[in-house]
Chains A and B, each alone.
Chain A
Amino acid sequence: ILNVEQSPQSLHVQEGDSTNFTCSFPSSNFYALHWYRWETAKSPEALFVMTLNGDEKKKGRISATLNTKEGYSYLYIKGSQPEDSATYLCALGGAGNNRKLIWGLGTSLAVNP
């Protein structure tokens, strides 16, 4: 059974702090790793999809790295702002027509002004 684990479960930081959290997954049969951002009372929105070992993606102050050999991905937020407060989900994606995603439970980030 594939398991995607995220840590920490929750995080409180001050505005301006940089932070990072982890997504761990089985390294065998890897195909794609997705990161989503989920604000309270809204629906999840895709941040990144990564497929290659060593991939690094960036969107504004948010970036992510991928290590498929050891089975982890890091999400970094530089200079956190209150609007970054959300739950950050990672999901393991399947190949070809298998579009089922295996979801982690998420890291809940609260940025205090």
Chain B
Amino acid sequence: NAGVTQTPKFQVLKTGQSMTLQCAQDMNHEYMSWYRQDPGMGLRLIHYSVGAGITDQGEVPNGYNVSRSTTEDFPLRLLSAAPSQTSVYFCASSPPPGIPYNEQFFGPGTRLTVL
């Protein structure tokens, strides 16, 4: 299993550009989520999904969209990049209900800089 994969690893954008951060997992996990990590702020939840076709907002959803058309993929779209979105983005997945205590598995992260 590849686990949770994210692409790209690094990205530089100009203000106003849009882009999609890709996340995929091959563990048949129903729950997937996107976090951003900023110095002194810890991990903050952007959006999450409990299964294909179902998404919901986390703590800091503004400026981001997600979709979940398949169990495997959970892309994060930046609609119009702003310097405040400079951050490291992590995708994570977790097994389905029935294994209630299992941990989240994290991807390697995408480091995004918005100029």
Contacts and interface: CB of A to CB of B under 8 A. Distances in A.
B42 A96 contact: no
A22 interface: no
Interface in B29-57: 31, 33, 40-43, 45, 48, 50
Interface residues of B, number: 23
A32 to B, nearest CB: 5
Nearest to A48: B103
Contacts of A95: 100
A22 to B, nearest CB: 16
Interface in A28-66: 32, 34, 36, 42-46, 49, 51
Given A43-B90, A89-B43, A106-B42, A101 B104 contact: yes
Interface of B: 31, 33, 40-43, 45, 48, 50, 58, 90, 94, 97, 100-109
A97 B106 contact: no
Given A43-B108, A44-B106, A46-B103, A99 B50 contact: yes
Given A43-B107, A44-B106, A96 B43 contact: no
Interface residues of A, number: 22
Interface of A is mostly: loop
A99 B31 contact: yes
A39 B41 CA distance: 17
A103 B102 CA distance: 16
A105 B40 contact: yes
Given A42-B108, A44-B106, A99-B94, A51 B42 contact: no
A100 B48 contact: yes
Nearest to B102: A49
B109 A103 contact: no
Nearest to B107: A43
A113 to B, nearest CB: 26
A103 B42 contact: yes
B71 to A, nearest CB: 15
